[in-house]
Chain A
Amino acid sequence: MAPCSLLFKAKLSRPRRYLSTLICTLGCLLLVACGNGENNVSTGLQSQTLHWGNGAEPQELDPHIVTGIPEHHIIVGLLEGLVLKDPATLEPTPGMAERWEISDDGKTYTFHIRDNARWSNGDPVTSEDFVWSWWRALQPALGNLYAYMYYPIKNAEAYATGKLDDFSQVGVKAINAKTLEVTLANPTPYFLQLLDHYSMFPVHRATIEKFGEPAERGTRWTRAGNFVGNGPFILTQWDLNRLVMIEKNPTYYDADKVRLNAIRFYPTENTSTEERMFRAGQLHVTGSLPADKIAVYKETNPQALRISPYLGTYFYRVNTKAEHLADKRIRRALAMAVNRQQIIDTVTKGGQTPAFTFTPPNTLGYTAEDGFVEDIAAAKALLAEAGYPNGEGFPPTEILYNTSEGHRKLAVAIQQMWKKNLNIDISLNNQDWKVYLDSEASGNFQISRAGWIGDYVDPNTFLDMWLTDGGNNRTGWHSDEYDQLISEAAPAASEREQRYAHFRRAEAILMDAMPIIPIYTYNSTHLVHTHVKGMPSNILDYPLYKQLYLSED
């Protein structure tokens, strides 16, 4: 007899009684789970354990391989670079380096590494660790997509792209065990801002070599139990698609000030579930919030809702190689005929800021002048001038976006605005993410939706992507003057204001040509429990875990 049938025979002797037994069993099962009001938030308060909705399963925890935000959240707990950032001001503060000097020409940085900086296995952190780690990060075999973060360093680009074989010519040198000298190709005012990006973090050489070749992808050194780090926490658990747990690292130089005992990261891909987990007290912090919930929280629980400006721009790329879109007047007309505030109020609903420039306003003190105004009459005039009075005869045009409800709604809104304001017909085309990437990269689109999040706090991370044939340009647009300003004039400027003036000039050129249509500046949106203290908002959406703690007051 099969087990199931056995079960039937044994239990089914009295159908009614059986049914009531079943109901009772189910009821008991549910009751067993009945909590006594305890949940992660209440237990977390006692044990100082933070429960963090992390958005996705980390691809890896190797800082020289990964590219994502979920990985970032975990790695900054495990490793620490030469400098940290003040989470409130984003100004560099001492990290592994307790101090540093910058030469007068702005090209040589000398870092002094803390005497008490240690790896989690007790080894001291030395300048050699940095030299070796940065050498590793530049090995092409590793497939490090963030190798370009090193390019301000002298000869780093040549080495990473294989034009130079000798690493000793790259501008990184260990003067002695605790002194590191970095030579740059050009003065790079944002260089310190790069150093707390995980791609510049040191890794523990002996551990990596124990588990494989230095430039081997995906060895087991990043697993819980193997990982040796120099950050405030150590990796104690990593269950695939379930949980990553980090716990306080006793060898960390600042361990006295670390108040959290553990952080548990959950791969919360489904934002609706994440929101319900927050409501049920399973999470302290969520990675995001579905747009249609924002209004509800504003009404019912505003103290949990955390919306703040974010260093990113939502925009449309225009393919300037497409015949009719090669005309700048048409591109400008399209940009001017969109009501951004209306999109924000009715579609995205996240209180974002309408964008009239590409670089988000106030990026480390830099704000570009608005490149255009929303003006339907002027847009119509431009369109007529380009040969399409009242939109007549406008060639079939398509907006490409990657499959997502949010992108679809926004594209529909823009489609309607262009129809109403310019009387042109636009079709929509959604593609699966990888197909969309392929179409965009191969220039197989007319208008495509895009977003760009800054890698570091400096206008350069937004503006250098529009250089001629830049890998992320993809619009076919180019301007020699623009190239000159970004690649030559700005790096050579000695004063911040002078440098920003070059950027402003460049951004004006970009906005005048309008190969991209800025829509809005991103916001970061989270739910944060009132117990979470020491987590100020900033435009990088960057937490400093060692300042974080949980408290009821």
Chain B
Amino acid sequence: MLRFILMRLLQAIPVLLVVITVTFFLVRLAPGGPFSAEKAVPAEVLKALEARYHLDQPVIQQYFSYLGDLAHGDFGPSFKYPGRSVNEMIAAGLPATAELGLYAMCFALLIGASAGIIAALKPNTAQDYIPMSTAMLGICMPSFLLGPLLMLVFGVWLEWVPVSGWGDIPGDKILPALTLASGYTAYIARLSRGGMLEVMSQDYIRTARAKGLPEWKVVLKHGLRGGMIPVIAFIGPAFAGLLSGSFVVETIFQIPGLGRFYVQAAFNRDYTMIMGTTVLFATLIILFNLLADILAVWLNPRLRDLYKSGGA
């Protein structure tokens, strides 16, 4: 098992290097520089700015000095926000994004998995159709529609929760988490329904029933463990997706997260910020996928044994 993890971590290094290299050169190829502005920038000011951020050096030299800084964990200064370093902005934005992602994941798992299980218990009845069609609606409804709708109903009309903000007014985290969760909830509902249906038709379930176990025990003790494997496998990529894909929700609800920086950095040609967020998200995606794989191995006795014997 340890070897498996180690191997995967080693594999991540060249992947990250490719990501860094491609991003580094692509952002510099994009037309328009970080300092172009609507008002003409005088030549002497532009020169000073480029010298300040080492953009006057040859690109290859910039690349290697960037790699050197990166090795020390230094993402460099932001071009757009002169007083901020990229490290600082990530440190400021990541907690909000992670918190939002975590809440969304909890909502998605709680609602999605229960809906999927309930649906799977009586397939092709109303108990199946209602949660599943709701789930379909969740997949189809984009967050830029759902977010404002929730805001209007619960924020403006009912005045139960604030329309936007993050940690300023109690309850301001509920709507964004729900909005971000919607698509994932729906997906998890479908995954768990599929997983449960497959497991419930297995022989060992029939054995369990034949033993005379009550149905809820059959479902929860024997069905759930196998039925949830697809969901567990999905959690890793889903969490990575929640972190890197929360841009829309962060913008709608004005959450001080990283997603907003990520997209804005590209528009602003804030080279260091683009690099910093890309490297961070790439690392997170790799890590979460690895975690998901470890979990899957651990939950699946056959795979677990395989790695035990292989690792020995």
Using a CB–CB cutoff of 8 Å, the interface residues on chain A facing chain B are 2, 4-5, 8-9, 12-15, 18-19, 22, 29-35, 37, 39, 57, 59-62, 65, 67, 140-145, 147-148, 160-162, 217-220, 222-223, 239-243, 266-270, 272-273, 276-277, 279-280, 282, 432-439, 441, 451, 470-472
Complex: A15 Cα to B113 Cα, angstroms: 11
Residues facing A in B142-173 (CB within 8 A) are 148, 151-152, 154-156, 159-166, 168-172
Complex: A32 Cα to B155 Cα, angstroms: 14
The interface residues of chain A lying within 8 Å CB-to-CB of B251 are 269-270, 273
B163:A441 contact, CB within 8 angstroms? no
> Is residue B203 contacting chain A, with contact meaning CB distance below 8 A?
no
- Identify the closest chain B residue to A56 (Cβ): B264
The interface residues of chain B lying within 8 Å CB-to-CB of A470 are 40
Complex: A69 Cα to B251 Cα, angstroms: 20
Residues facing A in B31-45 (CB within 8 A) are 31-33, 35-42, 44-45
A30:B41 contact, CB within 8 angstroms? no
Among B83, B156, B166, the residue within 8 A (CB) of A218 is: B83
Residues facing A in B166-199 (CB within 8 A) are 166, 168-172, 174
- Identify the closest chain B residue to A270 (Cβ): B251
Using A15-B216, A22-B110, A432-B32 as known contacts, say yes or no to A33 and B42 having CB atoms under 8 A apart: no
B254:A268 contact, CB within 8 angstroms? yes
Min CB distance B296 to A, Å, is: 11
27 contacts between A and B (CB under 8 A): A9-B224, A12-B220, A33-B161, A33-B174, A34-B160, A35-B159, A59-B81, A140-B45, A141-B52, A218-B83, A219-B83, A241-B256, A241-B257, A266-B254, A273-B164, A273-B252, A273-B253, A276-B163, A279-B163, A280-B155, A434-B33, A434-B268, A438-B32, A438-B36, A451-B38, A470-B40, A472-B39
The interface residues of chain B lying within 8 Å CB-to-CB of A239 are 92, 256
Using A9-B220, A60-B81, A437-B36 as known contacts, say yes or no to A33 and B295 having CB atoms under 8 A apart: no
The interface residues of chain A lying within 8 Å CB-to-CB of B111 are 22
- Identify the closest chain B residue to A279 (Cβ): B156
B40:A472 contact, CB within 8 angstroms? yes
Interface size class of B (residues with CB under 8 A): 35 or more
Using A15-B118, A218-B77, A241-B93 as known contacts, say yes or no to A161 and B42 having CB atoms under 8 A apart: yes
- Identify the closest chain A residue to B51 (Cβ): A141
The interface residues of chain B lying within 8 Å CB-to-CB of A471 are 39-42
> Is residue B82 contacting chain A, with contact meaning CB distance below 8 A?
yes
Among B30, B163, B224, the residue within 8 A (CB) of A12 is: B224
A4:B109 contact, CB within 8 angstroms? yes
Cβ-closest 8 pairs across A and B: A33-B171, A471-B40, A434-B32, A218-B82, A241-B256, A242-B256, A218-B83, A438-B32
Min CB distance B5 to A, Å, is: 16
A62:B256 contact, CB within 8 angstroms? no
The interface residues of chain B lying within 8 Å CB-to-CB of A65 are 82
- Identify the closest chain B residue to A215 (Cβ): B48
> Is residue B273 contacting chain A, with contact meaning CB distance below 8 A?
no
- With A12-B224, A18-B114, A29-B174 given, name 5 new contacts (CB 8 A): A62-B82, A218-B81, A241-B257, A273-B252, A433-B32
Complex: A438 Cα to B29 Cα, angstroms: 13
- Identify the closest chain B residue to A438 (Cβ): B32
A30:B160 contact, CB within 8 angstroms? yes
- Identify the closest chain B residue to A268 (Cβ): B254
> Is residue B80 contacting chain A, with contact meaning CB distance below 8 A?
yes
A67:B160 contact, CB within 8 angstroms? no
A435:B82 contact, CB within 8 angstroms? no
Complex: A59 Cα to B77 Cα, angstroms: 13
Using A18-B114, A437-B32, A437-B38 as known contacts, say yes or no to A270 and B252 having CB atoms under 8 A apart: yes
B267:A434 contact, CB within 8 angstroms? yes
- Identify the closest chain A residue to B53 (Cβ): A217
B151:A276 contact, CB within 8 angstroms? yes
The interface residues of chain B lying within 8 Å CB-to-CB of A280 are 155-156, 159, 162-163
Among B52, B151, B160, B253, the residue within 8 A (CB) of A33 is: B160
Complex: A102 Cα to B256 Cα, angstroms: 49
Complex: A218 Cα to B84 Cα, angstroms: 7
Min CB distance B122 to A, Å, is: 12
Complex: A148 Cα to B41 Cα, angstroms: 11
A147:B42 contact, CB within 8 angstroms? yes
Complex: A143 Cα to B168 Cα, angstroms: 35
Complex: A143 Cα to B51 Cα, angstroms: 11
- Kindly name the residue among B35, B39, B51, B156 whose own CB sees the greatest number of chain A CB atoms within 10 A: B39
Min CB distance A296 to B, Å, is: 13
A141:B48 contact, CB within 8 angstroms? yes
